[in-house]
Structure 1
Amino acid sequence: MEIKPKFGYDKLLFGMKQKDAEAIYGKANHTFKDEEDNFIMMYNALKARLTFYAEEDFKLGYIIISNPNAILFGEKIIGKNANESKEFLSKKGLKSFEVETFDSFSNLFNEDFWTVLQTEFDEVVKVEIGAVIKNEDEFDWKF
């Protein structure tokens, strides 16, 4: 399953609706609304959490992935050393990362690709990708 920054994950594209995701993967294992009224779908087999933005007519705008078989730019990323991952991604165009640390976790965030590597114990444990903004207030939907 391929992580595609700016586009989506596996067969999912940013801009899809809940019904589009269900047409591909069936009913989610768990659904709920978050504190901002966004609709969340969780798929155990994908090891992914999908966020459909309430303010954007419930379009898919954010994905959190913890699947150890997920591929990013041709390589598995979950379980990879954090510094090696930064070097690898730098060669793929993700040049700079803002680092935020809390408890035992660090988030390495690249704004241009709206990609977050969440690390713990210097190892990537999750990848978060979001739809990017193409101008000041409009998302670059891919679906």
Structure 2
Amino acid sequence: MQIKPKFGVDQLLFGMKQTDVKSIYGNPNKQFKDEDQNVIYVYNQQKMRLTFYEDEDFRLGYIIASDPELTLFNNTILGRKATEVQKELEQHSFKTWEKEDFDLAENHFNEDHWLILQSEYDQIVKVEIGAIIKNQDEFDWKFGAK
């Protein structure tokens, strides 16, 4: 399952509607609304959590994935040290990273690509990727873009 920075994961593109996603993966294993009334889809087999933003007409805007087959620029991600992956990503314009500690977990965030590598026990366990904001308040939706 390929991570495509600024675009999405696998066949999913930022800006898709719920019906578009269902046409690819079928009905989610779990569906709920978060505190902001965004719709969340959970797909167990793909190990993905998808967020459809309420204030953006329920477009897909955020993906959390933990499938062991995740790749980024043809390299596997999970189970590796974040520092190693960050070093590889330098050649793909991932220059700056912010690090946050949360008890056991560490988040390594690259704002230019809205990518988070979450690690525990010094190994990446989860990847979060979000749609990019191209203006001050407008998302760069990839689905349906010309």
Which interval holds the TM-score relative to the shorter structure?
over 0.9
Mapped partners of 1:141, 1:31: distance in 2: 23
Within 2, Cα distance between the matches of 1:8 and 1:46? 14
SS in 2 for 1:134: coil
Question: How far apart are residue 84 of structure 1 and its match?
Answer: 0.4
Question: How far is the alpha carbon of 1:86 from its aligned partner?
Answer: 1.2
* TM-score when normalising by structure 2: 0.96
Match of 2:47 in 1: 47
Q: How does 1:15-26 map to 2 (within 5 A)?
A: 15-26=15-26
Provide the C-alpha distance between the structure 2 equivalents of 1:116 and 1:90, rounded to a whole number of angstroms: 15
Structure 1: 5+ residue stretches without partners: none
> What's the CA shift string for 1:34-54, capped at 9, x where partnerless?
000000001111110000000
Separation in 1 of the partners of 2:43 and 2:3? 15
Letter of the structure 2 residue corresponding to residue 136 of structure 1: Q
DSSP-derived class of the 1:21 partner: helix
Q: Tell me the CA shift for residue 122 of structure 1.
A: 1.1
Q: Given the alignment of the two structures, is residue 73 of structure 1 paired with residue 67 of structure 2, yes or no?
A: no
Aligned partners of 1:91, 1:128: CA distance in 2, in Å?
Answer: 20
Matched ranges for 1:123-134 at <5 A:
123-134=123-134
SS in 1 for 2:84: helix
* Percent of pairs with identical residues: 58
Partner-residue secondary structure (3-state), 1:141: coil
Q: Aligned runs of 1:1-143 on 2, under 5 Å?
A: 1-143=1-143
CA distance in structure 1 between the partners assigned to 2:42 and 2:113 by the alignment: 23
Structure number with the higher strand fraction is 1
> Higher mean Cα deviation, 63-72 or 85-94?
85-94
Structure 2: state its 5+ residue gaps: none
Using the alignment, how far apart are the partners of 2:45 and 2:109 within structure 1? 26
Moved over 6 A (4+): none
Residues 90-142 of structure 1: CA deviation (Å, up to 9, x unaligned): 22211110100010111000000000000111111000000000111100000
Aligned length: 143
The alpha-carbon deviation at position 88 of structure 1 amounts to 1.0
CA distance in 1, matches of 2:114, 2:82: 17
Letter in 1 for 2:75: E
Q: Give the SS at the match of 1:112.
A: helix
Structure 2 distance, partners of 1:49, 1:77, is: 17
Aligned counterparts of 1:47 and 1:28: Cα–Cα separation in 2: 11
TM-score (structure 1 length as normaliser): 0.98
